[in-house]
Chains A and B, each alone.
Chain A
Amino acid sequence: MTSYTDKIREISKRLLKEGKVDMVIGFTKGSVPMMNQPMFARNQNDVDGFAWDGNCGINLANYVTGRSEKIGIVAKGCDSRNLAVHIVENKIKRDQLYIIGVPCTGMVDRHKLTASVGGEIEAIEEDAAGKTVTISGNDFSETVDRVDVLQENCALCMHRNPVIYDELIAEEVPEQTEESVDRYEAVRKVEEMSPEEKWAYFDDLFSDCIRCYACRNACPLCYCPTCFVDESKPQWVGKSIDPSDIRIFHFLRAYHCAGRCTDCGACVRSCPMGINVRALTKKLEKDSLEYFGWEAGLTTEQRPPLDTYKPDDPEQFIK
């Protein structure tokens, strides 16, 4: 990934030098493994902080919301799709952005890796070919195939290359296809459950939730000035860890993302408890595709289907 890093630094430096942008937003290496940090550079001296590897799973579109500067932004496939959503939803203007596109082969799953070892991971290394990941810490060192430890959303991703960009930092990577991955296998399993099984499944899914709202706050779609769970006049949802309030939060938030979610996985990556909140949004992504032939963030020209009305909108799901 060194060449990616070098290229990002080189382009950022050039953009800042030429005054094409006021700032560049990218990632810097975190102080702990697997936790790279979003950072900005306003002058050429700062660009050496930029880095790229398989730990850049936070969605950077979240960092341009409502900004007024001219911004250079490092964007993998999903980030670029969320930039497109932002543009459609008037959260940023296309001409405010210089999109530095990063063809992406997926981000490593920090929850999976952490759970796979007994102790704390002290270091993570990816080989130059991007085939393996080596994790090490007190008394252990383990090398695994990179494809086996990808975030689930990355393993199922159909848009690894940026959808909109001004410049690509490398050759496009091969895209996965419907033939090569079954992206809705997990959703179908839940769809096939009986109501009792579904209840038990969702009960278990959210049982660890501590209501820290990391999932919501890491999501570029969640830019409401006041989230419904934070409203106090009237107060829609209780504040305790009562399971019904926790479910209301997750279900309503997911529905708010229907037709807008790009399955970037920032919610799951951010969750301190490793809850697979994508279980909800992936179902809505599947429905959007099946009912409306729609995938979020592929165009800056069209508003998402649940945001508009057309006389011929499908309605077979209304019972």
Chain B
Amino acid sequence: MKVIQIDKSELDAGLEKLESEFRLIGPVKEKDYHLFTTLTPGQKPDLEYINTRLSARSILYPQSEVMFEFSLDKNDENYAVLKEPQKDRQPTAVIGIRPCDADAYEVVRRNFDTPEYKDPYWLKNYESTTLVGLACSKPCPTCFCTSAVSGPFSEKNVDILLVDNGDHYLARLVTEKGEKLAESAGWNRPAENADETIEKMKLDAESKIKSEVATDNLASQALIDLYEAEAAIWEPEAFACINCGTCTHACPTCWCFDVQDETYGKAGFRMRNWDSCMYPLFTVHASGHNPRGTKIARIRQRFMHKLKYYVDKYEKGIQCTGCGRCVRLCPVNIDIRRICNKMNSYDPETCSCAVTS
């Protein structure tokens, strides 16, 4: 794969060239934290950032998204007809997405792009987006990407991977899309001995990851054993949980949504909003019955989904890229690393976990 060198001093000029062809999205500091935002002409992404407070999920999959519009006016020729609104799907480039967030798109795609079902909203956004990743040379203490399905230099799902090398970036052009973007930006100076340098920096970054999860037994554990491990896993973990949606809303790989109709006067909108399996309303039936009516059932669902059902269904590891956001943000310290290690080490004979923290 081709690697080019982009001097930091020439990055801005390249981004400016891209502005005519792409909507640019990048990390920007607002108030005290970084978030992804559409860059206004001339606005530059802050590539010195560590990571955004919330994940990059909303770039392709907004928290609230209008799917259809309709009219409640009986005199309107479009009365009660669902119409797809015009959407801005111009080519988009995300500048500086971290590998954990980019790899999360690959995870989410397994759900939104299947032979039976293709989510048009997510897929159209995904297809019109070029991902310019930014490798992590200084991982955080709660990052555990290397033992989840990502890594600080993972290039599985980026089109270009930028590696910060002092006064310049080494940019590996991973896909054709990435090559085209580099060409549009006028970045074309070949880098020398870059593969070697990147490999060295990658190993260095990986060695700085202090936190990990054990996942080797998850697939071979019997589903029903883990489900029934109430005393060893679910009861103690559920006790502190307040059943808020912090973990699911911060997560780059959560994909559940709820469809709602809203009206303003005679104008109607069918929209989808992120939902959370932590909420009691998530599974409540029209009859009023709730199959997951208790906190313990809901917390079990979240972790069984990410660490067992997904593992069994797709055979591609866990539904987690190890970004650490839920670990950092959970107000009562429900730590997915601890739960994963408990599930992985659970012994149904003794109904206990070899690893409890």
Contacts and interface: CB of A to CB of B under 8 A. Distances in A.
A241 interface: yes
5 contacts: A35-B333, A120-B142, A214-B331, A218-B331, A241-B63
Given A214-B242, A240-B260, A32 B63 contact: no
A218 B260 contact: no
A270 B331 contact: yes
Contact of B33 (A32, A115, A214): A115
Interface in A209-224: 210-214, 216-218
A83 interface: no
SS class, residues of chain A in contact with chain B: loop
Interface string A172-199: 0000000000000000000000000000
A79 to B, nearest CB: 15
Given A31-B337, A270-B246, 20 more contacts: A31-B333, A32-B142, A32-B335, A35-B331, A38-B239, A38-B240, A115-B32, A115-B33, A119-B50, A138-B141, A210-B54, A210-B245, A212-B246, A212-B248, A214-B244, A230-B280, A241-B273, A242-B64, A272-B246, A272-B331
Contacts of B242: 62, 214, 217-218, 270
Contacts of B37: none
Interface stretch (B156-164, B168-176, B191-199, B322-330): B322-330
B330 A218 contact: no
B54 A137 contact: no
B305 to A, nearest CB: 18
Interface residues of B, number: 45
Interface string A98-118: 000000000000010011001
Contacts, number: 120
In the A-B complex, list the 8 residue pairs whose CB atoms are closest, starting with the nearest.
Answer: A270-B331, A115-B32, A240-B64, A214-B244, A30-B333, A37-B333, A212-B245, A217-B242
B53 to A, nearest CB: 7
A39 interface: yes
Contact of B332 (A38, A211, A232, A239): A38
A239 B273 contact: yes
A37 B239 CA distance: 10
A8 to B, nearest CB: 17
A30 B334 CA distance: 9
Contacts of A269: 331
